[in-house]
Amino acid sequence: MWKLLGGLLTSGLVLVWGSMAQADDTANAIIQNAIKAHGGAANLAKLTVRHEISKVTRESGTQFTNTRVAWVHLPDRIKTTSEGEFKGQPYKSISVIDGDKSWSSTNGRTKEYTEEQLKELKDRLHEDNVLTLVPLLTDKGLNLSPLGEVKVSDRPALGVKVSAKDHLDIDLYFDKETALLVKSGRGNWEHLYSNYKKTDGLNWAMKMVDYNREDGKQVRATEITELRFLDKIDDSEFTKP
């Protein structure tokens, strides 16, 4: 009888591990196809160090548009500068994360982020790193699991959940036919991606629309107008004034 029970337990463990391995294989296959669709690992790696200019339209009671300039050096450095007018008044804001250092400036008034604000900003930067896709197959700190098939903009899409210690889970959805990223979600945020264009071998979404997951309302639309890949970014860009 004990041999029979032992055999059943062993069979059960084999089935569990087999299911887990199959789940990992499914998620990995989706990501591998997505990497190819976006131009390959070498071209996606160019996103690690980049300069980006975007037009951002925000829905915040009163709609307004600004220009956003970003210096990005993944996985832990980013500087964004936003300039525009709000209710007839000009403004300029700067936000910087440099490892464990962070600060912001609005119309010349500079302050450090709180611990809670810094955590949210690091989650965003972590999401930016995940969206480059290549770390999903190379970073052992990232765990992948399949989310199944859903409809995104009336088209079938395959989902993958990305989990990492000290960060919110990120849901990624890729068009079933093209394997391009069409949707992601983190916490209360949901993003839709479109207007794919090739830049130096990279096939990348030039438009992202952000939604609040709780009420489904559009919060912001971002259109990339310039994307350049860099070898490095001067440290002075991240220096606090």
- Structural domains for the chain: 2-238 (2.50.20.10)
180-196 residue pLDDT tens: 999 999 999 999 999 99
How many Cα atoms are found within 13 Å in the side-chain-facing hemisphere of 179? 16
Mean pLDDT for all residues in the chain:
88
Q: What is the mean pLDDT of residues 117-129?
A: 92
88 pLDDT tier (thresholds 50, 70, 90): confident
pLDDT at 103 > cutoff 90? yes
216-236 residue pLDDT tens: 888 999 999 999 999 999 999
Which residues, 6+ apart, have CB-to-CB distance to 121 below 8 Å?
Answer: 95, 97, 102, 113
16-36 residue pLDDT tens: 444 444 457 899 999 999 999
